[in-house]
């Protein structure tokens, strides 16, 4: 099934493989409103939390663009940056970004240990984690963070009820049409994501963080069904 001009997928089988990697930046910018602006906010947010000798994780780092931007902004400081992604092809692409103290690894983020850190980034990744592993992952993130450290969580969200969900879905589809997607491509993408992407509501995402121990949680972005939070330990 064709989901974009250079990307094909199958039913319930969306993968970040070679074909997606080649067109990733263009595809996600067309699919996710204000994707680059969200990145820009996170890059600037790093000024408040990353100091000399800090460790910063990007969990689900995709092609490494965001972590590279943060590393370049903070290059004057002795900070370590580590990006993890389960996609081999994404990590191959990310490793082309050769910057001091910036490293990428192909790992399942639900299975890896995390060292003490000051900033952990999860941008559109929790929605791809099987629901049964999500709370344990947020718990692990909370334990990893130093006191005063931050989790940056950006997610696709579901509406609080069926009516709101319909509104969000149709408005998002309208957005994608304006960005150049064809109707069959939008429909095919939805089919490919069945059982792969499972968004939760705003409240459910807040509850994950609160149960882990976060008390100071601040929304910093929302457009339709896309929302960003930062939570400080």
Query: 9-48, pLDDT tens digit by residue?
Result: 889 898 888 888 888 989 999 999 999 999 999 999 999 9
pLDDT on residue 199: 97
Mean local confidence (pLDDT), 112-122: 98
Interval 54-98: pLDDT, tens: 999 999 999 999 999 999 999 877 999 999 999 999 999 999 988
Task: Show the tokens assigned to 223.
Answer: 């457009």
CA 124 – CA 154 distance, rounded (Å): 5
Task: Show the tokens assigned to 181.
Answer: 């997607």
pLDDT on residue 6: 85
At the topology level, CATH places domain 2-232 in Rossmann fold (3.40.50)
Cross-strand bridge partners of residue 38: none
Report the chain's C-alpha Rg in angstroms.
17
Interval 162-213: pLDDT, tens: 999 999 999 999 999 999 999 999 999 999 999 999 999 999 999 999 999 9
Helix axes 18-31, 35-45, angle to 10 degrees: 90
Domain residue ranges of the chain, discontinuous segments joined by +: 2-232
In angstroms, the first-to-last Cα distance of the chain is 44
Among the residues of the chain, which ranges form H helices? 18-31, 35-45, 65-73, 88-94, 131-144, 162-178, 183-192, 202-212
- Residue that is written with structure tokens 């997928």 in the block: 9
Average pLDDT, the chain: 95
pLDDT above 90: residue 215: yes
In the chain, count H helices and then E strands.
8, 10
pLDDT on residue 7: 86
Task: Show the tokens assigned to 89.
Answer: 């092809």
- Confidence band (pLDDT; 50, 70, 90) for 224? very high
Task: Show the tokens assigned to 150.
Answer: 């931050």
Q: Does the predicted TM-score (pTM) go above 0.85?
A: yes
């Amino acid at each position: 099934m064709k989901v974009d001009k250079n990307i094909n997928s199958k039913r319930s089988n969306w993968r970040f493989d070679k074909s997606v990697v080649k067109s990733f930046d263009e595809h996600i910018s067309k699919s996710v409103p204000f994707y680059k602006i969200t990145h820009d906010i996170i890059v600037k947010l790093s000024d408040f939390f990353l100091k000399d000798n800090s460790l910063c994780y990007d969990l689900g780092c995709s092609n490494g663009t965001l972590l590279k931007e943060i590393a370049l902004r903070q290059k004057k400081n002795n900070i370590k940056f580590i990006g993890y992604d389960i996609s081999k092809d994404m990590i191959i692409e990310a490793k082309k970004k050769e910057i001091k103290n910036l490293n990428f690894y192909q790992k399942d983020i639900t299975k890896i240990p995390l060292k003490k850190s000051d900033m952990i980034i999860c941008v559109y990744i929790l929605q791809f984690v099987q629901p049964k592993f999500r709370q344990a992952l947020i718990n692990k993130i909370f334990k990893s963070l130093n006191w005063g450290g931050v989790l940056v969580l950006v997610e696709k969200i579901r509406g609080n009820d069926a009516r709101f969900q319909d509104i969000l879905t149709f408005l998002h589809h309208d957005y994608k049409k304006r960005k150049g997607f064809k109707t069959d491509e939008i429909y095919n993408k939805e089919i490919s994501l069945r059982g792969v992407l499972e968004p939760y509501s705003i409240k459910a995402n807040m509850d994950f963080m609160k149960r882990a121990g976060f008390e100071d949680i601040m929304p910093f972005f929302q457009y339709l069904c896309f929302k960003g939070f930062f939570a400080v330990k």
